[in-house]
Chain A
Amino acid sequence: MIAEAGLAALWLAAALAGLELLLAVLGLRGRGELMASVRPIAVVQGILVAIAFACLIILFVRVDLSVALVVANDHSAKPLLYRFAGAWGNHEGSMLMWVTILALAGGAVALFERNLNERTLIATLGAQAFIGLGFYAFLLFASNPFERVSPPPAEGNGLNPLLQDPGLAFHPPTLYLGYVGLSVAFSFAVGALVTRDVGPAFARAMRPWVLAAWIMLTLGITAGSYWAYYELGWGGWWFWDPVENASLMPWLAATALLHSVTVLATRDGLRAWTVMLAVVAFSMSMVGTFLVRSGILTSVHAFAVDPQRGAFILGLLVIYIGGALTLFGLRVGTVKEGSQFEAVSREGALVVNNLLLSAILGIVLVGTLYPLMAEAMTGEKLSVGPPYFNSAAGPIALLLMVVMAAGPLLKWRRDDWRPLVARLAVPALLTALALLALAIWAPPIGIFPLLGLVLAAGVAAASVAPLWKRKLRRTPLFIWGMVIAHLGVAVALVGMASETAFTKETLVAARPGETHRVGPWAVRFDGVEPVAGPNWTAVEATLTATRGTSPARTLTTQSRMFYAPPTETNEASITTVLDGQLYVVLGNSDDQGRWQLRLWWKPWVTLIWIGGGLIALGGALSLLGRVLRERRSRLAQEAWA
């Protein structure tokens, strides 16, 4: 019954999305009285999809084996958390989560948006319903999550053990919130184009959504990076895997959008560009969804290879992006030019920021799609890896750091070079000192890590400079947000550069009792013993790590055998200390009683994810500051009225 209820709710929601679109179109074409019903329909639609998604979760938690999706991905021996999160650890379930978030976001816009021109809002909701319709069709016709099997089998197939990790419960929802948040920005842009209403009011309405989506993407990418780092046991934090790029591209576009929307909201500049970026940002979400969901990629995310589904998502992508670009082309002439600014100004720096981010986005996009294009055109199979991305995007990213240091110290509209140089003196001095310190004390390192460390010192100093001579208690929250986010970039940069430059690695086959060195650590291999978990058995190695005179630490690392489905995974042992992490992976044994051990000492590597967290925190403070300010000004207006 639950499966049928879920399916019925999904159909009803799809019908309401159609009605919402119809009423919005009719309402905008002169039947103004119809517009009043668009908001409630958007809300009800959100509730219905949420019910459908709740039904799927119930089916997974109960392990209802009469449902095909549950059979394929669930198992009664799985812990509750993974039965619960397993609902979206598969293709159909994750697409249902996608539309759930989409519809709930539409409902939230309908409920809470009060500042925007009513016609633009109705057009926005219509656009949101139009996006929703495509994904409802995809679910109902090509990926029905509620399909029954008859007769029901005795047991399910279980979940890929790599996905049996607490990260699964949070990583997809955060990323999807980010992707879908950008759909709202896209709908706002389409709405504003339809009603020819591109201006600061529209930008102020769109900004919280862009910020929220960007925070979620930042968190999703940071968490995904840490997941890959500890779960895969390869010791790397970014692999330039197409799936990682699929989340990075929307983030780059959203970062650019976030900065340009600020120019539009506060200075009324960059109108057409901001609308264009909103379209590009959601396009990147769609491209990401297509890459991950179509199964054309080689990765843990490729749940099933089904060309029909790939073609369906590609079709949706073409309709939405092509439609939006056509609309943009037709209406860009009606977008009035915003106010002017000089080249040396805050706006100018933000334009450079946008261009550099767009260039990085282009490079990542080309590298990600090139293998697919090459195969489609010439039949040649190839892969594009870190050497390409690092050499092409690295220099631009470092240049972006320089602009990021200088930008916040510039005045809006127009500024002069000379005071800027004075304001940048302290950061520049720190940069020079960092270079000197590295040249004297550090072993020779590569040019990218070197520049990274040196620039990070300057960026860190420059990012807190906007607080200089301000009364800290009276500094608005969104200034704090900017400062903390930029500081987070510097912190993450130190982590990345330090990990790249100073990591020490030891790879040995060790007998129990042997001690091996890695960096400042001496690690003794004590031995192995079998252990068992709820749905796995494992070989567990115990090691004792000592560093200088500090007390010894005991580490355990496992090689796990899961039995549903039968798979092995390595559970790396990661010891975090103040200045880095000791990372140990257990490999295979040989006939002489030796075990392969891989030991890494990664100085300051934790700063990568701390930096990511700071960036998201900065975003959150900024969002809070903006929302509170809007609220205060609205209350003030109402008090006057």
Chain B
Amino acid sequence: MKAKHQRLVLALVAVGAIIGAAFLAMSALKDTAALFRTPSEVAKGQVPIDKPMRLAGMVVPGSIARDADGVTIRFLLTDEGATAPVRFRGITPDLFKEGSGAVAEGRLGADGIFVADNILAKHDERYMPPQMESAMKSEKDKAARQGRRP
């Protein structure tokens, strides 16, 4: 390698590596990024089936039911506009309660039931995931505009 060119070659290699990494990152992102969805979108059929996503909403009071195996639960998530059924096998987080906010991570099944691999709940009294807050707020605004009880 000629002495004068070493820095140039290094810079080119670095730029190439960074472009390669960015390309790899973008193509991987396309396949794996999970969108935040609301129960209203599920009800309107706007949500593709069997794609990774997050469903955010409020757990409908009285809707949590347990299967006979004792570890599978079914419940409804609502955003005040619509409700969507969710199934989850596992231990729900400490703060997962009827009437409080939750995010289900998983896929929508062909039968219209959202199968969650993971449930995230509101962390404490002061905390609500920002995405959830805005998702619920926009539905509330819509409901208020349409003259329904928010």
Contact = CB atoms under 8 A, between A and B. Distances in A.
Contacts of B126: 304, 565
B65 to A, nearest CB: 11
Contacts of B3: 340
Nearest to B22: A362
A384 B29 contact: yes
B137 interface: no
Contact of B24 (A337, A392, A565, A568): A392
A191 to B, nearest CB: 23
B124 interface: yes
Given A162-B123, A363-B21, A385-B32, A340 B71 contact: no
B32 A381 contact: no
Given A340-B3, A351-B10, A383-B36, A507 B90 contact: yes
Contacts, number: 140
Interface string B1-39: 101001100100110011011101110110111111000
B38 to A, nearest CB: 9
A160 B124 contact: yes
A366 B25 CA distance: 7
A588 B25 contact: no
B1 A383 contact: no
Interface string B38-81: 00000000000000101000000000001001110000000000
Interface in A354-376: 355-356, 358-360, 362-363, 366-367, 370-371, 374
A366 B17 contact: no
A385 B34 contact: yes
Contact of B25 (A355, A367, A509, A568): A367
Contacts of A296: 130
A160 B123 contact: yes
Contacts of B52: 385, 387
B25 A392 contact: yes
Contact of B36 (A233, A367, A382, A391): A382
B143 interface: no
A337 B94 contact: no
B123 A396 contact: no
Interface in A332-368: 337, 340-343, 351, 355-356, 358-360, 362-363, 366-367
Given A362-B18, A370-B29, A384 B34 contact: yes
A360 B35 CA distance: 24
A343 B1 contact: yes
Interface in B88-141: 89-92, 94-95, 105, 120, 123-127, 129-131, 134-135
A304 B128 CA distance: 10
A73 B129 CA distance: 20
Interface in A576-615: 585, 587-588, 590, 592, 594, 596, 598
A528 to B, nearest CB: 15
Contacts of A342: 1
A296 B34 CA distance: 18
Contacts of B91: 233, 507, 570, 585, 587-588, 596, 598
B137 to A, nearest CB: 12
Given A343-B1, A381-B35, A302 B25 contact: no
Contacts of B70: 508-509, 590, 592, 594, 596
Contact of B34 (A297, A340, A383): A383
A568 B34 contact: no
Interface in A77-97: none
A507 B92 CA distance: 12
A569 interface: yes
Contacts of A273: 10, 14
A447 interface: no
7 contacts: A162-B123, A273-B10, A358-B17, A366-B25, A383-B33, A385-B52, A391-B28
Interface of A: 160-162, 233, 272-273, 295-298, 300, 302, 304-305, 337, 340-343, 351, 355-356, 358-360, 362-363, 366-367, 370-371, 374, 380-385, 387-388, 391-392, 396, 507-509, 559, 565-570, 585, 587-588, 590, 592, 594, 596, 598
Given A355-B14, A358-B18, A596-B70, 20 more contacts: A296-B130, A302-B130, A351-B10, A355-B17, A358-B21, A359-B20, A359-B24, A366-B29, A383-B33, A384-B29, A384-B34, A385-B52, A385-B105, A388-B29, A392-B28, A507-B89, A508-B71, A509-B70, A566-B125, A587-B92
Identify the 7 closest CB pairs spanning chains A and B, nearest first: A509-B70, A381-B36, A587-B91, A359-B21, A568-B94, A298-B129, A388-B32
